[in-house]
């Protein structure tokens, strides 16, 4: 145990000498025989102790500096890491945006391509139709046939019932005329008093059907009061000369007829 003690007065306070140091000094004195050698040893011991304390302090400072350096290093590194993460996040968002834009561009281009395909297909059809029209314009009608709006018609001079009239047209690689416009109706009204056209309701009463299987659309060009199916036996349609309009009459009537190629 070490107790502070005043070597001169024997009281506490004033100049102190550590009792342990005194004890050590006495032991050193007894080892070296006392005298001036004793004070040299004490001085050396004190110097070594001081040097050790200084070294320890320096080591502590070094350690502290090392710790501070490491903290700074890792703080800076973490800062860099955060910045890199932020940078990568921004790049990722930019790439995501670019990808979305590319995706929408791709979708637009696909839609445009599909539209162009449809347009191209429509143009091909229009081209084919125009070529047919040109062909029809250039193509002359057979002898005895009349051309109207690029279509050839045959108007008979004989008279036959509706079925035989149709057969005659088919034998001529045509069929009874189908009227699609007022102009065509007017054209076919120029010739005989009355002519057969390719319209009948012989398959179902009141359901007027053309010879190509299509049903009459719109009102047609009937005379006033027609079709009236007089006597319940009028299933075939005649066209009267002079734009008089259509009339349903018995199919057994013998009339001229109009074929259309």
Q: Which does 239 bind (CB under 5 to 8 A by kind): ligand GN1, Ca ion, none?
A: none
Residues between 206 and 235 that touch ligand GN1 (CB under 6 A):
225-226, 228, 230, 234
Nearest to 162 by CA among 248, 220, 230, 95: 248
Q: Which does 225 bind (CB under 5 to 8 A by kind): Ca ion, ligand GN1, none?
A: ligand GN1
For ligand GN1, the closer of residues 213 and 232 by Cβ is 232
Stretch that binds Ca ion, among 57-65, 84-92, 194-202, 248-256 (CB under 5 A): 248-256
Main-chain phi, psi angles of 147, to 5 degrees? -95, 135
Q: Confirm if 244 and 186 have CB atoms less than 8 A apart.
A: no
Q: Which does 184 bind (CB under 5 to 8 A by kind): ligand GN1, Ca ion, none?
A: none
For ligand GN1, the closer of residues 198 and 227 by Cβ is 227
For Ca ion, the closer of residues 235 and 248 by Cβ is 248
In angstroms, give the least distance from the CB of 225 to Ca ion.
8
In angstroms, give the least distance from the CB of 175 to Ca ion.
23
In angstroms, give the least distance from the CB of 248 to Ca ion.
4
**DSSP string of the chain?**
---EEETTTSSSSSSEEEHHHHHHHHHHHHHHTSSHHHHHHHHHHHHHHHHHHHHHHHHHHHHHHHHHHHHHHHHHHHHHHHHHHHHHHHHHHHHHHHHHHHHHHHHHHHHHHHHHHHHHHHHHHHHHHHHHHHHHHHSPPPTT-EEETTEEEEE-SS-B-HHHHHHHHHHTT-EE----SHHHHHHHTSSSSEEEEEEE-SSSTT--EETTSPBP-S---BPTT----GGG---EEEEETTTTEEEEE-TTS-BEEEEE-
Q: Is 165 in the site for Ca ion (CB under 5 A)?
A: no
In angstroms, give the least distance from the CB of 185 to ligand GN1.
18
Residue with the closest Cβ to Ca ion? 248
Which of 156, 165, 194, 247 binds Ca ion (CB under 5 A)? It is 247
User: What is the maximal distance between C-alpha atoms in the chain?
Assistant: 173
Q: Is 249 in the site for ligand GN1 (CB under 6 A)?
A: yes
Stretch that binds Ca ion, among 107-115, 164-172, 228-236, 238-246 (CB under 5 A): 228-236
Which of 201, 235, 238, 248 binds Ca ion (CB under 5 A)? It is 248
Binding site for ligand GN1 (CB under 6 A): 225-226, 228, 230, 234, 247-249
The residue ranges that bind Ca ion (CB under 5 A) are 228, 230, 234, 247-248
């Amino acid at each position: 145990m070490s107790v502070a003690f005043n070597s001169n007065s024997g009281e506490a306070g004033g100049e102190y000498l550590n009792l342990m140091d005194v004890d050590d000094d006495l032991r050193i004195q007894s080892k070296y025989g006392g005298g001036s050698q004793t004070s040299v040893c004490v001085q050396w011991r004190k110097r070594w102790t001081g040097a050790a304390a200084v070294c320890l302090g320096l080591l502590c400072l070094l350690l502290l500096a090392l710790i501070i350096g490491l903290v700074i290093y890792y703080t800076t590194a973490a800062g860099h890491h955060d910045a890199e993460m932020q940078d990568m996040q921004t790049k990722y968002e930019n790439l995501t945006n670019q990808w979305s834009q590319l995706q929408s561009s791709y979708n637009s281009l696909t839609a445009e391509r599909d539209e162009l395909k449809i347009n191209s297909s429509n143009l091909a059809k229009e081209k084919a139709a125009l070529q047919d029209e040109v062909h029809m314009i250039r193509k002359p009608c057979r002898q005895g046939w009349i051309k109207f709006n690029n279509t050839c018609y045959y108007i008979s001079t004989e008279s036959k019932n509706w079925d035989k009239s149709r057969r005659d047209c088919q034998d001529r690689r045509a069929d009874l005329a189908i009227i699609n416009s007022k102009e065509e109706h007017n054209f076919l009204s120029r010739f005989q008093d009355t002519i057969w056209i390719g319209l009948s309701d012989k398959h179902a009463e009141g359901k007027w059907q053309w010879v190509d299987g299509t049903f009459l659309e719109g009102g047609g060009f009937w005379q006033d009061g027609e079709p009236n199916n007089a006597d319940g036996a009028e299933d075939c349609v005649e066209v009267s000369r002079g734009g008089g309009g259509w009339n349903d009459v018995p199919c057994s009537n013998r009339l001229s007829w109009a074929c259309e190629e």
